[in-house]
Structure 1
Amino acid sequence: MDEKVAIQIIQKLRHDWMNDLQLILGYIQLGKPEKAEEKIASVIELAGKNRALDRLQLPKTTILLLLLNAENAHFQWEWEVRTTNSSNESFPNDDELKQQLVSIYELLQEHLVEYEVYHATLSIQKKEEECAFQLIVNEALDNTETLVEKLKKLSFVESITSTESFQIKWKQFRKVIECL
């Protein structure tokens, strides 16, 4: 990774942590300990989500998500990880997932409404033989019919729904190599 990219990510993370600490201190100084406790709980929850992503051993995907958040205040990513598999193997495939997210993000960028702030939630559910992904964007996208058509051309996308929120689902399967 380029040193400038690393510094950019570190600066964004430090900025966010300082904002959180200043809010907590402000709530305490204003005599609002319940608000401070709520903020502390949200910081702990975020740290837990980051730890869960770290445990999947997806350095390229993790750096991509952190970099996108650092570069784009108008499009912020969140993630949640659920796993039934405690092994430390590198599954899902980091390179493949990173490229899938880049492909989706590039298409989404073409359909963002100007001055809208977007929040995307990436859900990762890891099981023994498969890893399911769901990306949800709750804010309005421009020309969703065209976006859906473009997304359908991505070979890995399984389903797209655009009712109350815009959802994209796909999976990766464990590649089992049998030795005879």
Structure 2
Amino acid sequence: MKELIEVINHQRHDWLNHIQVLLSYLKLGKYDMCEEYIHRIIAGANRDTLVSRLEYPPVVAYLLSFNALHSNMRIEVEIPASFSLLKLKEGNWLGDFIVSLVKLYQQHALYNGGESNTFLLTLHYQESALRIVADFAGELDVKGIEAGLNELCARMRACGGEALLMPHTASESVLECVFPFA
């Protein structure tokens, strides 16, 4: 219940910030900036809608509440085309894998000198496969995350997936996973 209250407070705070920015643009007569800002708000709401359409409650709740509950890493989710995990035979397993992947990076994200660590999660669904790309930028405990990444990749391979590991450094990590559908 405490987490729910934190998420609601975070959402309320974000919306108040949006309204204050819009009000400032209106007072300054910067209508073009106001319109641009409204489009950014709409784009963010559309991204949240695509996350909601994944329809697997543990993933949806985790991804939509993540930024409100974690301060060491900011997440952005890109889903080029809407799809439901629940309509996939492996949907629950894929959903749990996604949450495990994000948690692994969050647990090994280090203090970044006041800058925010960023994690871009891309979920690209095609009829034949789901491609998951994790792109971390910031400060990362590379040695600490290595064992967890190896374990996740082993789980993925056991379920027919394949991993393309990109270079992992203390400031950047990219992992691409492809899960073909039977």
Q: TM-score range by the shorter chain?
A: 0.7 to 0.9
Aligned to 2:174: 167
Structure having the higher helix fraction is 2
Task: Describe how 1:88-107 pairs up with structure 2 within 5 A.
Answer: 90-91=87-88, 93-94=91-92, 96-107=94-105
Amino acid aligned to 2:163 = E
How far off is 1:106 after superposition?
A: 3.0
Please tell me the residue identity of whatever aligns with 1:25: L
2:163 is matched with which residue: 150, 155, 158? Answer: 158
The residue type paired with residue 124 of structure 1 is L
Counterpart CA distance in 1 for 2:69 and 2:51 is: 20
The residue identity in structure 2 corresponding to 1:4 is K
Over the matched positions of the two proteins, sequence identity in percent amounts to 22
Change beyond 3 A, Cα 1:73–1:38: farther
For the Cα contact (< 8 Å) 2:108–2:140, is it kept in 1?
A: no
- State whether structure 2 residue 141 is matched by structure 1 residue 136: no
Q: TM-score, normalised by structure 1?
A: 0.78
Cα distance in 1 for residues equivalent to 2:110 and 2:118:
11
Cα gap change, 1:58/1:89 in structure 2, threshold over 3 Å: closer, same or farther? closer
Per the alignment, in what secondary structure is the counterpart of residue 80 of structure 2? strand
Distance 1:140-1:114 versus aligned 2 partners, 3 A rule: closer
For the aligned residue pairs, the C-alpha RMSD in angstroms reads 2.8
Name the TM-score, length of structure 2 as normaliser.
0.77
CA deviations over 1:13-72 (Å, ceiling 9, x no partner): 222122111111111112222221121111011111111122221321111112321112
- Correspondences of 1:29-178 after superposition (within 5 Å): 29-83=27-81, 90-91=87-88, 93-94=91-92, 96-115=94-113, 116-142=115-141, 144=142, 147-154=145-152, 155=154, 156=156, 158-162=163-167, 165-174=172-181
Whole-Å separation in 1 of the counterparts to 2:109 and 2:83: 38
Deviation string for 1:60-100 (max 9, x for gaps)? 111111232111233111111123x7679533624542344
2 CA distance for matches of 1:126 and 1:70? 27
> Which residues of structure 2 form unaligned runs of 5+?
157-161
Greater CA deviation, 86-95 or 110-119? 86-95
Q: In the aligned structure 2, how far is the partner of 1:45 from the partner of 1:23?
A: 16
Q: Distance in 1 between matches of 2:105 and 2:123?
A: 20
- In the alignment, the residues of structure 1 paired with residue 149 and residue 15 of structure 2 have an alpha-carbon distance, to the nearest angstrom, of 35
Tell me which amino acid in the other structure corresponds to 2:167.
S
Task: Give 1:129 shift.
Answer: 2.9
- C-alpha displacement at 1:173, in angstroms? 3.9
User: How far is 1:113 from its partner?
Assistant: 3.5
The runs of 4+ residues in structure 1 deviating greater than 4 Å are 85-89
